[in-house]
Structure formats: C-alpha cells, structure tokens
Amino acid sequence: MKKITILLSVLITINIMANAQWTKQTSGITKTLNSVYFTSATTGYAVAEAGIILKTTNGGTNWVALTSGITSNLYDVYFISKDTGYAVGALGKILKTNNAGINWTAQTYGTTNNFFSVYFVNAYTGYAVNDAGGIYKTVNGGTNWTVQTSGTENSLFSVRFIDANTGYVCGGGGIILHTSNGGTNWIAQTSGASMNLFSIFFTDANTGYAVGLNGTICKTINGGINWIAKKNVVTGALSSVYFTDANTGYAVGIDGTIIKTTNGGTNWITQTSGVSDYLFTVFFSDASNGYAVGENGTILKTTSGGTTDLEENFTGGQTNIYPNPASDFVTLTINDANVIGKEIKIYNINGKLVSSEILKQNQQQINIGDLSNGIYLVEIKTKEWTEKQKLIIQR
C-alpha cells in the first residue's frame, strides 16, 4: 500500500509539472504588481503598489527591491534602453531612471490625476495617459510634460505608438483614440465595444488589438478605420494584451486568466496559469520567454510560449506504448508497416530531444534505462500521419 501511495504521489506531481504552462516566481512581496517590462532576456522590472519597483538580472529567478522615493501606487513601467526607463502611477507620479533603476527622479507634469500608461517612441518623445482623459507628451526625455487635447474625460488606460507620428489610446466606455501627427490631434475611432478597454497593442501599421471587460477583444486590420469587437472570449475582464509576432498573442486578466492565439486572434485558447490572482500585465522578452504579474506579488514565467510539446494535439492513432509508466524498457506497437526506417524521437518536458532510434519493425522494444524519472513525449512521423504520445518513466 505504501509503494502504491508513493507512486500515485509521484505521478500526480509529474502530471502537475506536465500541465504547468506558467510557473510562479518568488517576488518577495504581497503587494499587487501592475506592470512588468524586460530590457533583455535576463533584465526586467516590475512596479507595484506603495511605490515598489522590483528588478531581476537573471530572468526572474531572483527579484530585488529598488528605491523609488515614493509610496504611492505605480501602474506602468517602460524602458527605452537598458539604462533609461520611466514609471508612472497614482497622484500624477512620473519617475525616470538613467542608471538602470539605481536612482529614480520625479518629473514635472502638472497634474495629480492617476497615470496608467507610458510609452516612448524614441529617447526624447514619450506619452503618458491618465484617469481624466489626459494625454501628456514630452519631447525632451521627460524634463517637461505638456497636456494634449484628447477630446474626452474618460479614463485612459493604455497608450501605444507604431511610429513617431501614429499612436493609439484606449480607455473607459470602449473609447479608442488615434493620432497621425504625434498627438497634435486625437480622433475617436469606433471600437465596437461599450465596455472599458484596458490595453492596446499593434503588430504592424494596420493590425491592432484592444482588450477589456467581459472578455472583449477588439481587432483592426486597417489602422483602426474599422474595429471588430469579439466579445466574451472569456467570461471575465482582460487587462493586458501582447503579441510576439503577427499571429501569436497573449491576453491576461481576472482569476489568473491567460489566453493565447496562434492565428491572429481568430481563436483564443486558455492556458494554465496555476493561480487565481488577477493578472494585470503580460510581457514577452522573446517568442518563448514571457512574464505575467498581478495580485499578491504574483509573477509568472513561461519559457515555452506558455505551451509544451506534451500539450499538443496527438494525431494518427497508430501507436501503442506499453508498459506506461515504464522503467527500463518500453515496447512500441505501430499499426502501419510503412514505419520501418522511420525515426522514433523522445523529448523531455522542456522539449529537448533526449533519445532517438530508427524503427526496424512495427513492434519494437526501446531501451529507456538511461533516462531519468519524468514525463516524456514519444514522436513518430510519416508522410501520412504524426503520432505524439506521453511516456511516464517511473522506477
């Protein structure tokens, strides 16, 4: 009975590992983290309530607190280089660092409204938006900020530019604003949504996305001339959207929600976050490495774009693997004589190829004695089909 209990516990642990698309990191705080930004594969920053700024230099393995000089909430962080960055937040706070976060200095802004988002198009020109419809612009690296005419008093939650002149803002009541002249004029676009939109992102000059309440995702393919709202993609609020290429994007939100698209937003698939905390921002440093931050000091990381080969759809239905779990040897029986000469590949949970062998017959024994305990993926490909099956090694 004891051996059975131990085996079940190990298998449950292995299965949890296999399904963990995102892993929780240790932030060292319990305050709500509102934004995260990486300047390289290893160096990143996160901002939180109470003026907290965290930094990592090893890809999130460790996070250390920096001195911001304020105690009010910070809602967004953005870096224009490895050394120069900005953080904005409550009571009109705009902070700047020129030395990778060692020191932060307050900027001149002229408002006490809450800033929710900041974005720079180059070393000198940047924009920040707030909860009173304010759009502020700097042309001297933040030494001075001047207010622009937005035409709205709705809260503005996110600002994004695709070049020096063309930018977008989204906010309360489904509002989306567009400028083609660096903010001299802002024109309201028809989003197709009536709910608050919290985040906006463009993958090119024409294609953009905005997300908000009730799982709403708006998309344009013509620079915002038309937006199509896809509602209730999930049941709860979505607070942030980020794309790593034209087709692959992510959105996060309430109750630990993380969704992913690989076809430009036509379909969105729920990923396993492993938490129930509200997630406020998602950011990717490259196509594979991504971060999401939220309530209770939550920082999540993926190194595989949120998926593993073990979670792909298996096709073919041609292969039987036994025993499974296995210890030193496993037998493959394949219902196709044409597999002779094909290669069997075995990958570990991180997607690394750990073993390969040429099939000499359609029933073949494979030696797995040199592989450690864990979950693996066995893959066989022919011209007609591809088979992927999980293999558990347990001794």
The whole-angstrom separation of Cα 179 and Cα 215 is: 26
* pLDDT tens figures, 114-162: 999 999 999 999 999 999 999 999 999 999 999 999 999 999 999 999 9
Q: Which of 225, 394, 273 is nearest to 326 (CA)?
A: 394
- Please report where in the chains the tokens 């293999």 appear, as a residue: 391
Is the separation of the CB atoms in 200 and 208 below 8 Å?
yes
What pLDDT, on the 0 to 100 scale, is given for residue 32? 98
Amino acid identity for residue 221 in this structure:
I
What is the Cα Rg of the chain in Å? Answer: 24
What pairing do the DSSP bridges indicate for beta strands 238-243 and 249-253?
Answer: antiparallel
| Rounded alpha-carbon distances, angstroms, from residue 257 to 210, 216, 279, 306 | 16, 13, 7, 12
Q: In what order do the strands lie in the sheet with 343-347?
A: 353-358, 343-347, 374-381, 386-393
- CA torsion, points 299, 303, 304, 310, in degrees to nearest 10? -90
The whole-angstrom separation of Cα 154 and Cα 121 is: 24
CB-side exposure of 140: number of CA atoms within 13 Å? 7
> Cβ atoms within 10 A of the Cβ of 314, count?
14
What pLDDT, on the 0 to 100 scale, is given for residue 104? 98
DSSP tag of 254:
G
The whole-angstrom separation of Cα 297 and Cα 158 is: 22
> pLDDT category, 386, cuts 50, 70, 90?
confident
317: alpha, beta or left, given left = phi > 0 and alpha = psi -120 to 50? left
- Which segments within 238-328 are labelled E, that is strand? 238-243, 249-253, 258-261, 269-270, 279-284, 290-294, 299-302, 319-322
Helix H or strand E encompassing 10: helix 2-19
Q: Encode 107-123: b = buried (16+ Cβ within 10 Å), e = exposed.
A: bebebebbbbbbbbbee
Q: Write the DSSP string, 331-361.
A: EEEES-GGGTTPEEEEE-TTS-EEEEEE-SS
Helix H or strand E encompassing 189: strand 187-189
309: Cα separation from own chain's centroid: 18
* pLDDT tens figures, 251-294: 999 999 999 998 999 989 888 899 999 999 999 999 999 999 99
The whole-angstrom separation of Cα 230 and Cα 253 is: 16
**Which range is most confident: 242-246, 327-331, 343-347?**
242-246
Structure tokens at 227: 């937006």
The whole-angstrom separation of Cα 93 and Cα 69 is: 11
Domains of the chain: 22-307 (2.130.10.10), 310-393 (2.60.40.3080)
Averaged pLDDT score across all residues of the chain:
90
| Rounded alpha-carbon distances, angstroms, from residue 88 to 73, 83, 133 | 9, 17, 15
Is the separation of the CB atoms in 48 and 297 below 8 Å?
yes
Amino acid identity for residue 255 in this structure:
D
* pLDDT tens figures, 8-52: 333 333 343 444 589 999 999 999 999 999 999 999 999 999 999
- CA torsion, points 328, 353, 355, 16, in degrees to nearest 10? 10
Q: Write the DSSP string, 13-50.
A: HHHHHHH-SSEEE--S--SPEEEEEESSSS-EEEEEGG
DSSP tag of 32:
P
Amino acid identity for residue 21 in this structure:
Q
* pTM confidence score: 0.76
Judge whether residue 6 has pLDDT over 60.
Answer: no
The whole-angstrom separation of Cα 257 and Cα 16 is: 18
The whole-angstrom separation of Cα 94 and Cα 257 is: 29
> Cβ atoms within 10 A of the Cβ of 106, count?
14
State percent of the chain over pLDDT 70.
91
> pLDDT category, 76, cuts 50, 70, 90?
very high
